[in-house]
Amino acid sequence: MSDTTEFGLPEDPERPRAQVRSGVSPRYAQLATFMRLRHDPAPVGRDVVVVGAPYDGGTSYRPGARFAPRAIRHESCLIHGTGIDRGPNVFELIDVVDGGDIDLSPFSMDLAMETATEALTALLDDNAAFLMLGGDHSLSLAALRAVRHKHGKVAVLHLDAHSDTNPPVYGGTYHHGTPFRWAIEEGLIEPAHMVQLGIRGHNPRPDSLDYARGHGVRVITAQECADRPLADVAAEIRAVVGDLPLYVSVDIDVVDPAHAPGTGTPAPGGLTSREVLSLLTLVGDLNPVGFDVVEVSPPYDHSGITALLAAEIGAELLYQYARGTGRTRTPAPPRKKPEPKNVTVPTSEGSTMTPSAPCVVRLDDSADHLLDLRTRLPRVPRLDLSGFFATAAEVARDLPPELRDALRAFRRAGNTEGYLLLTGLPVEESELPATPTSTPAPVQRPLLAMEAWLALVGRELGLPTGYRELRDGTVLQDVYPSPNAHHLSSETSETLLDFHTEMAYHRHQPHYVMLACSRADHERTAATLVGSVRKALALVDDGVQDALYREPMRCHVDISFRPAPDADPIYSVAVLHGPRQDPLLAYDRELLDPDDQPAKQALATLSDALDEVTEPVLLKPGDLLIVDNHRTTHARTPFTPRWDGKDRWLHRMYIRVPERMEGTAEPGDVVGFVGR
């Protein structure tokens, strides 16, 4: 095997080849990712992530843009990463992957906008930039919200036949003619540093450009562009944009329909494809931070030339990003693996674990705001639990923005660690009664601070759920030490509560386990241990993973779910399941019971890997831990209770996410046991 790439550069094991080579696989073969890039559905640390936004609910004339991401990817398979007189392959300079599509509701514009905003914001939390393939132009507003969150106000280069600064119509808030009006209204962009280029055609209002020009936007019409040398136009754009972070939005209808017929609102008299590609070379002279290419409508693109041009524009923008970030002279260095912090925590078995930095949201500065939200919740939640959770959903809309953003990102894609830790939530020891010793809690017990945060955060994530056989079906649960607890119960304290995925054998398994701390143990040694499958599988070879995927394993059930004390029902559980590139985990060290030696060995290998990547979380009052119950296993180290009314006291709630469930449900539902 050669130790160089097809471009003559050294082969780097830390940076596997970005594209499928045409000399190895024909360009019409394999899955059609953008420019045949690697597909990474959970990208972290990338320079640019290509992401599809298949949505056209904002179109006003010809629909079909929802099909564009797939069509653009198909045509992009023809495009190499090299260009004439441009040096090395662009993917040797910047790290780019195809992140797949954002799943957007075709039935609700508001929901699609919210989903896109959350997804793109989360993408920029973990990566440097994105190239969004629309979809109609309405979702550029979501993109600008995400970019504003990361970079502050930005400059904009907007290529389009239309200004897209129109007011709302037909009673809706958004459509594909409003994104830049809302971007200005919301303070996402600096209008004095925005250029709109290619504007032309007949408009429904004679004053259609008054809004943009009145806010200081530089509008360069298609006619003005035709009357001036392109070099002069490019020089003016550079001057207007300046040094601000730049977002580039290309509506394909900026191009004349002779070159790009497949679009929703074609307008004759546009730029040629060569002129657009030439103008985009100026982007590399600036500070680009994000891009979109929108409004391709494949049903009207019979020869595929519009989608091909959109793909070429996307490729050009990637090259200009490499120029703008100074990467075109020297290949990008390999990404280094993060070094773990040199911190060790003892386990019950005398070994040590080295935790990496957890995913933490610090809320100390939001205490007053959170306390105000608490006053809006019913004081006695258990009197009307469904009403309590309905109110909590309304109040949760006003959670601090940084908290809502973090929760939505975690719900959308999780993270590598498999948990989210909220710290600094306000809690007062003086309001707490003695640590409970029985379940359920009294119906008349007033709402406690950590229960309030559990409810608000839980409703932002999904549906709080109780399980009929567990703790009398309570939804807001107390977790406390009990002197006579079974060793498989969370009430045990002086022995290790071993690693388990909560209710892996249950058809209605929760998606998240939430633990909120009102009191820590006296010595503050009790640690919640979390092992992430996303980390562990890096240590497990493909053969073992195949074995864990291939056959479900026998699994016993927790004592609470057994129909009688001496009963021992057995169910089948797939330890690894779901997408092969990002598997889900169902794991229980006590209850899984493989029935042959190869399965036992595969499970033991996975167990060793989970031990290797386990992270300890020591909960203190004011902490709320959210565990991704489909991508982790968790445990708890022993502690010694004193039975003095001040022992460790957690509050637990299980959350199910509606779109990942079978059937429908309501917040506060109590479900009966159904085995897998």
CA dist., res. 659 & res. 653, Å (int): 19
CA dist., res. 606 & res. 610, Å (int): 6
Q: Please, is 438 exposed, middle or buried when counting C-beta atoms within 10 Å of its C-beta (0-12, 13-18, 19+)?
A: exposed
Tokens of 62: 């010809």
Cβ neighbours, 10 Å, residue 42: 16
Residue with tokens 């972290």: 44
List Cβ neighbours of 99 (8 Å cut-off, separation of 6 or more).
Answer: 39, 40, 41, 43, 49, 50, 51, 123, 130
Q: Tell me the per-residue pLDDT of 242-251, one tens digit each, with 9 for 90 and over.
A: 989 999 999 9
CA dist., res. 408 & res. 418, Å (int): 14
Nearest by Cα to 160 from 104, 219, 78, 119: 219
pLDDT of res. 66: 95
Residue with tokens 């006053």: 375
Distance of alpha carbon 104 from the chain centroid: 13
CA dist., res. 631 & res. 414, Å (int): 9
List Cβ neighbours of 87 (8 Å cut-off, separation of 6 or more).
Answer: 328
CA dist., res. 240 & res. 163, Å (int): 17
Q: Please, is 570 exposed, middle or buried when counting C-beta atoms within 10 Å of its C-beta (0-12, 13-18, 19+)?
A: middle
CA angle 284, 289, 293 (to 5 degrees): 85
CA dist., res. 570 & res. 562, Å (int): 10
Which parts of the chain register pLDDT below 50?
A: 1-16, 329-358, 486-490
CA dist., res. 347 & res. 352, Å (int): 6
Q: Do 586 and 577 touch, CB atoms closer than 8 A?
A: yes
Of all helices (H) and strands (E), which one includes residue 626? Answer: strand 624-628
CA dist., res. 418 & res. 358, Å (int): 9
Q: CA neighbours within 13 Å on the CB side: how many for 573?
A: 31
CA dist., res. 494 & res. 491, Å (int): 10
Strands 189-199 and 154-159: parallel
Question: Which DSSP string corresponds to 363-415?
Answer: -GGGHHHHHHHHTTS-SSGGGSHHHHHHHHHHHHTTS-HHHHHHHHHHHHH--
Residue 555 pairs with which residues in a beta bridge? 571, 592
List Cβ neighbours of 38 (8 Å cut-off, separation of 6 or more).
Answer: 16, 18, 97, 98
The backbone torsions φ and ψ at residue 588, rounded to the nearest 5 degrees and listed phi first, read: -150, 115
Cβ neighbours, 10 Å, residue 453: 26
pLDDT of res. 493: 54
Q: Please, is 264 exposed, middle or buried when counting C-beta atoms within 10 Å of its C-beta (0-12, 13-18, 19+)?
A: buried
Q: Tell me the per-residue pLDDT of 132-147, one tens digit each, with 9 for 90 and over.
A: 999 999 999 999 999 9
CA dist., res. 17 & res. 40, Å (int): 13
Nearest by Cα to 42 from 588, 545, 535, 567: 535
Per-residue exposure over 331-367, b if at least 16 CB sit within 10 Å of its own CB, e if not = bbeeeeeeeeeeeebebbeeeebebeebbbbebeebe
Tokens of 165: 């600064």
Distance of alpha carbon 610 from the chain centroid: 23
pLDDT of res. 341: 33
Q: What is the largest CA-CA distance in the chain?
A: 89
Beta-sheet strands, E only, within 520-612: 528-532, 553-555, 571-573, 576-577, 584-585
Q: Do 56 and 111 touch, CB atoms closer than 8 A?
A: no
Residue with tokens 């779910």: 561
pLDDT of res. 21: 63
Q: Report helix, strand and coil shares of the chain as percent, to nearest 5.
A: 30, 20, 50
Gyration radius from the chain CA atoms: 28
Residue 53 pairs with which residues in a beta bridge? 134
Task: Please give the domain boundaries of the chain with CATH numbers for all domains.
Answer: 36-325 (3.40.800.10), 360-671 (3.60.130.10)
Q: CA neighbours within 13 Å on the CB side: how many for 184?
A: 20
Question: Which DSSP string corresponds to 323-347?
Answer: HHTT-SSSPPPPPPPPPPPS--EE-
> What separation in angstroms does the CA of 522 have from each of 35, 110, 256, 505, 647?
58, 48, 73, 34, 7
List Cβ neighbours of 525 (8 Å cut-off, separation of 6 or more).
Answer: 618, 637, 639
pLDDT of res. 331: 37
The backbone torsions φ and ψ at residue 15, rounded to the nearest 5 degrees and listed phi first, read: -125, 85
